[in-house]
Amino acid sequence: MELLDVLTVYHGTEAREIELYQGDLTSLKPEEAVDILVVSAFPNDYTPTPTSLIGALYSKGVSVLQLADAKAVDLRQTCSCWLSQEIVSQASGIQFKRILCFEPCVRGTPPEVVGDIFRSLIPFLGSDTPSYKIAMPLVASGDQRESAKKMLASLLEAAVHWMALGIPLKKLKIVEHSVSKAAQLKQEFSYLKRKYEIYPLRERPGFKHDIFISYSHKDTEKVLLLTEELQKLRPNLSMFLDRQELNAGMAWQQEIYEALDDCRKVIAVYSPTYLISKVCQEEFNIAMFRHRESEEPILFPIFLFDAKLPTYMKVLLQYVDCREGDEEKLRYACREFFSKF
């Protein structure tokens, strides 16, 4: 593969790299090996077309359809992606361990959907050490006919955001097979690179609020009971309770990050609508990174209404069970919050 350009992103003093290549993702050399290869597909359609990466993989003996029949983890309902079992292949050029299939069941604009790739990776990249390497084509810009320029801008914005925040991703390789298209992407990459070369890493001043409440607006009635009880126990408590829907456009991740950064603690209120909200997912994931890196606990989950929680939400953090919106249990959760935090 031919390296065209590199963007360096910093998490504190740690350098991570986003690289642009021209080449073939099914003909990687051993020194170009990655942990995960990202592919994109229409919902439940893994047809190996001649112009797709799925087709190129099929010609090397790797069937995405067969991998889809035995998924390791399926997060399509919340994060538009599923992860394959580990791949065993003797074919030359197959230098990756798993496939992450980007398969949005509900179409949105490129900025809304491409961030799901990184949200879905969070449960899989379990270590805080930035050792993982991932390769991908410019997803959705081939047979799915999304604008390559828009997809590159959206992909870089999401990648820079998560790598700077601390996702343990050491290297992201974006690979274009076509020589002519790669030349166009190189020019666009160079233009976008200037925006992120001095990506602002905020130093956290004093906190503006004590608590950030991360919740689905459909659960407002019960959440207001929760905040009233918290206020009763601590009358001077300052809470950030977002009553407005955030704009899920190009800058929405940074908007959430800045709001969370102004709050000392985060209460996440689990429910079925919380789990399918991209904004709630973003709030939870950012809060989880702060929780991991802080010397004191940051994130306090409350299970408000019954839902099928992703494994990482059940295992990484202990929640207080208040199902099904039990008011007495909510009062207990408030007391428990102050006893631990």
Taking only the tens place, the pLDDT of each residue in 170-190 is 999 999 999 999 999 999 999
Phi-psi region of 134 (alpha: psi -120 to 50; beta: other; left: phi over 0): beta
User: How far apart are alpha carbons 172 and 130 in whole angstroms?
Assistant: 11
276 and 244 within one domain: yes
At residue 281, does pLDDT exceed 80?
Answer: yes
In a domain, 201, yes or no: no
Which tokens hold the place of 46? 């893994």
In a domain, 110, yes or no: yes
User: How far apart are alpha carbons 156 and 151 in whole angstroms?
Assistant: 8
29 and 164 within one domain: yes
CATH at residue 24: 3.40.220.10
Q: Give the per-residue pLDDT at 250.
A: 44
49 and 160 within one domain: yes
Does residue 43 or residue 27 have the better pLDDT? 27
**Which structural domain range is residue 317 located in?**
209-340
User: How far apart are alpha carbons 177 and 182 in whole angstroms?
Assistant: 7
Encode 54-101 in three state secondary structure.
HHHHHHCCCCHHHHHHCCCEEEHHHHCEEECCCCCCCCCCCCEEEEEE
In a domain, 204, yes or no: no
Neighbouring residues of 18: CB distance < 8 A, sequence distance ≥ 6: 6, 7, 9, 156, 159, 160, 163, 171, 172, 174
In a domain, 88, yes or no: yes
230 and 166 within one domain: no
134 and 72 within one domain: yes
219 and 187 within one domain: no
CATH at residue 290: 3.40.50.10140
222 and 135 within one domain: no
Mean pLDDT of 92-105: 89
In a domain, 175, yes or no: yes
Mean pLDDT of 314-340: 88
Q: Select from 142, 164, 196 the last residue of a domain.
A: 196
Residues 9 and 160 sit within 8 Å (Cβ to Cβ): yes
Does residue 143 or residue 38 have the better pLDDT? 38
Tally of domains in the chain: 2
Bridge partners (DSSP) listed for residue 265: 211
Mean pLDDT of 149-164: 86
Task: Please give the share of the chain, as a percent, with pLDDT higher than 90.
Answer: 44
57-91 residue pLDDT tens: 999 999 999 999 999 988 887 778 889 999 988 88
Neighbouring residues of 19: CB distance < 8 A, sequence distance ≥ 6: 3, 5, 6, 7, 171, 172, 173, 174
Q: Select from 196, 231, 246 the last residue of a domain.
A: 196
In a domain, 33, yes or no: yes
In a domain, 220, yes or no: yes
In a domain, 118, yes or no: yes
Q: Select from 196, 224, 257 the last residue of a domain.
A: 196
35 and 104 within one domain: yes
277 and 226 within one domain: yes
114 and 74 within one domain: yes
Which tokens hold the place of 204? 């956290």
Encode the chain in three state secondary structure.
CEEEEEEEEEECCEEEEEEEEECCCCCCCHHHCEEEEEEECECCECCCCCCCHHHHHHHCCCCHHHHHHCCCEEEHHHHCEEECCCCCCCCCCCCEEEEEEECCCCCCCHHHHHHHHHHHHCCCCCCCCCCEEEEECCCCCCCCCCCHHHHHHHHHHHHHHHHHHCCCEEEEEEEECCHHHHHHHHHHHHHHHHHHCCCCCCCCCCCCEEEEEECCHHHHHHHHHHHHHHHHHCCCCCEEECCCCCCCCCCHHHHHHHHHHCEEEEEEEECHHHHCCHHHHHHHHHHHHHHHHCCCCCEEEEECCCCCCCHHHHHCCCCEECCCCCHHHHHHHHHHHHHHC
248 and 146 within one domain: no
247 and 189 within one domain: no
